[in-house]
Amino acid sequence: MKKLAGNFLFLSLILTAMVACNNQSGEEEDSSYIQVSIDSVYHAMNPMDLDFDEAEMAMIDSGMADLIEAYHEIRAYGLPNSTPPALQFNPLPYGFNLPDPTSPVSWEIPEDIQRPALEADLAFMSIPQLASLLRSGEISCLALTEFFLNRLKKYDPQLHCVVSFTEAYAIEQAKKMDAELASGMDRGILHGIPYGAKDLFSFPGYPTTWGAGAYKEQEIDQTAGIIKKLEEAGAILLAKTTLGALAMGDVWFADTTLNPWNLEEGSSGSSAGSSAATAAGLVPFAIGTETWGSIVSPATRCGATGLRPTYGRVTRSGAMALSWSMDKVGPICRSATDCAIVFDAIRGLDPKDKTLLDAGFTYPGEVDLSELKIGYFKSAFDSRYDVSKFDKESLRVLRKLGAKLIPVELDNDSLPIYAMSIILEAEAAAAFDDLTRSNRDTLLVRQHRYAWPNTFRTARYITAVEYIQANRIRHDLIEDYHSRMKEFDVVVLPSYQGGDHLLATNLTGHPVVVVPNGFKESGSPTSISFLGNLFDEGTILAVAAAYQEATEFNKKKPPLFE
């Protein structure tokens, strides 16, 4: 009973202080600090497992006025979501050497690719095949752009995967790309290739809604770094794709984005629209983001191929911040090879993103799996779960391709991995501090215990001390994963099974490629994941490509969109 009373008084004390701090009128000079009793301070310490004597409590009590005054001044300053903290996360373990910077890969564009007789088949062609058609004159950049725009408009009412079309820009850009090709100017393999971008990237003249009702009219006069890089590569933005509100789930302010393989279920999230549109052949590729599964999850549900790059690889300038130390930007495509092509275009430095590291990228193309050291997360594969038969079959395919699979364990019971999710919660609550304090969080569709509005509220009780302690444990997690991973070129693992590896690898910043590996009775796809060493996306992409060449799950098309 005493513990419950202590918790209640703790919340009451802090809430009282916050209400006072939120008062911006300045009419009552002393309202920024409410005097509390020593007993209340004692009970406030209870949930934190702290034990101070009466004299210490009195000093804490007297010091609270200074803290609340500081809170008041900080909040009065006004911080937009785009302002990052001065503290920056570094994913590099001790002694880790970055790959030397490299020039963009020289991608081979095949010759003699013919335009298919069926228009729907054009929708599912690979990036190299489409690039070939553009250069042979089988189709123009404008015609290809209009083709995919028409598919998006036709099927979006079924999938709810588009927040806004960037049609006027796309048509103008396509004409420009045609003129450049006609004059002999070729920007590379993405020249004239249409794509979609998750609607948390800013683009002038169009809304950037972050999928949330509180921001559905928001326009940001900045071209996101990722869009700028793709524009320089010649790619053509067709649409801002849906995301679950503030990058959680598949429920956004207007609807739920659906799975093209099974319209009875959502596409998962938060890169919901990017995955659904790509898998349905409505765009050749799309851009997503991941903080804790937001590429892996919708790519799995929709049967797409997704790359979550190493933290610090791809610019986040102009992107909505959810967690400055965990957010990552990556491509969602229909093959690992296409992911490698897009990743090569978007990687690299951006003067507007200080977290980026200048590291090279080498894509080996075809690889001999017998020459690689490939591990597999044995205890995860050995456990019983609903899609285990597909994952075990994936191991059999890899062995048939020559892989000598070596058992490895990624779990470390001494590390409180799930508890470290408070890092994400604290950073997200800070990113949307104004939303919470203004009470506009009620405009988000989802309002339950595990939805963002409540997470933002409860995260206010994460102390700065605990946040820093969690990040210190994160340091040990980075060293632990590096010590396990450095023995291997690739580790194969179930996309979800096996403890907290999805959270752990997002905390450490390791790259992963997720690819389809089967279909449930419901028709929904399943997936397998390839985990790589920091800054070694090339190897996991090449291994994933070899697996896809042998299985061709990625070449299957959702029946309703063929």
Say which CATH number the domain at 530 has.
Answer: 3.90.1300.10
Are 65 and 133 in a shared domain? no
Which residues, in sequence order, are CB contacts of 208 under 8 Å at separation 6+?
Answer: 199, 200, 201, 202, 215, 218, 219, 220, 240, 320
- Collapsing DSSP states into helix, strand and coil, what is residue 375? strand
Which domain covers residue 57, as residue numbers? Answer: 1-78
Give me the pLDDT at residue 61, please. 80
- Within a domain: 297: yes
Helix axes 2-22, 38-45, angle to 10 degrees: 110
Asked whether 161 and 204 are in contact (CB, 8 A), the reply is no
Contact 267, 302 (CB under 8 A): yes
User: Is residue 288 located within the same domain as residue 386?
Assistant: yes
Contact (CB, 8 A) for 380 and 463: no
- State both tokens at 172: 């103008």
Asked whether residue 431 is domain-assigned, the answer is no
- Residues 198, 269, single domain; the answer is yes
3-state secondary structure of 157: helix
What string of H, E and C letters represents the secondary structure of 454-468? HHHHHHHHCCHHHHH
Residue 425 lies in a domain: no
Looking at the fold, whether 225 and 295 belong to one and the same domain comes out as yes
Say if residue 170 is in the same domain as residue 66: no
Amino acid type, 207: P
Same domain, 36 and 172: no
- The total of structural domains in the chain comes to 2
Distance CA 293, CA 28 (A): 46
Q: For the residues of 46-114, what is the DSSP string, one character each?
A: GGGT----HHHHHHHHHHHHHHHHHHHHHHHH---TTPPPS-----PPTT--PPPP-PPP-PPPPSSPP
Check whether residue 50 and residue 185 sit in a common domain.
Answer: no
Q: Who contacts 184 (Cβ-Cβ below 8 Å, separation ≥6)?
A: none
**Strand pairing of 512-519 and 406-408?**
unpaired
Do 281 and 120 touch, CB atoms closer than 8 A?
yes
3-class DSSP assignment, residue 212: coil
pLDDT of residue 37: 53
CB 558 within 8 A of CB 303: yes
Six-digit token string for 329: 């930007």
Q: Side chain identity at 81, as an amino acid letter?
A: N
Quick check: is 442 in a domain? no
pTM across the whole model: 0.93
Q: Would you say residue 110 lies in a domain?
A: no
317 part of a folded domain: yes
pLDDT for 214:
98
Q: Is 149 left (phi over 0), alpha (psi -120 to 50) or beta?
A: alpha
- Phi and psi, residue 165, nearest 5°: -85, 140
Of 44, 78, 112, the one marking the end of a domain is: 78
Helix, strand, coil shares, percent, the chain, to 5: 45, 15, 40
How high is the pLDDT of residue 115?
Answer: 97
Distance CA(211)–CA(441), nearest Å, equals 13
Question: 221 and 133, same structural domain?
Answer: yes
Domain boundary among 46, 78, 110: 78
Q: For residue 32, what pLDDT is reported?
A: 42
Is 285 inside a domain boundary? yes
Q: What does the angle CA 178 – CA 235 – CA 347 come to, to the nearest 5 degrees?
A: 145
- DSSP state letters, 263-319: EEEE--SSSHHHHHHHHTTSSS-EEEEESSSTTHHHHHHHT-EEEEPPTTSB--TTB
Angle in degrees, CA 257, 537, 545, rounded to 5: 75
Quote the tokens at residue 523.
């028709």
Residue type, 53: D
User: How does pLDDT run along the chain (562 residues), one tens digit per residue?
Assistant: 333 333 333 444 454 444 444 444 444 444 444 444 555 555 655 667 778 888 888 888 888 888 889 999 999 999 999 999 999 999 999 999 999 999 999 999 999 999 999 988 999 999 999 999 999 999 999 999 999 999 999 999 999 999 999 999 999 999 999 999 999 999 999 999 999 999 999 999 999 999 999 999 999 999 999 999 999 999 999 999 999 999 999 999 999 999 999 999 999 999 999 999 999 999 999 999 999 999 999 999 999 999 999 999 999 999 999 999 999 999 999 999 999 999 999 999 999 999 999 999 999 999 999 999 999 999 999 999 999 999 999 999 999 999 999 999 998 899 999 999 999 999 999 999 999 999 999 999 999 999 999 999 999 999 999 999 999 999 999 999 999 999 999 999 999 998 899 999 999 999 999 999 999 999 999 999 999 999 999 999 999 999 999 999 999 999 999 8
Q: Are residues 140 and 70 both part of a single domain?
A: no
Residue 12, pLDDT score: 43
Please give the span between the terminal C-alpha atoms of the chain, in angstroms, as a whole number.
62
pLDDT at residue 172, rounded to an integer: 98
Separation of alpha carbons 188 and 498, rounded Å: 40
- Residues 133, 33, single domain; the answer is no
Q: Peptide bond before 495: cis, by omega within 30 degrees of 0?
A: no
How far is C-alpha 234 from the geometric centre of its chain's CA atoms? 24
Q: Looking at the structure, do residues 478 and 390 belong to the same domain, yes or no?
A: yes
Question: Which residue in the block uniquely carries the two structure tokens 């320089």?
Answer: 232
CA distances from 193 to 170, 363, 547 (A): 11, 21, 25
Do 218 and 296 reside in the same domain of the chain?
Answer: yes
Q: Is residue 543 domain-resident? A: yes
- Give Cβ neighbours of residue 107 (< 8 Å, ≥ 6 apart): 128, 188, 189, 341, 344
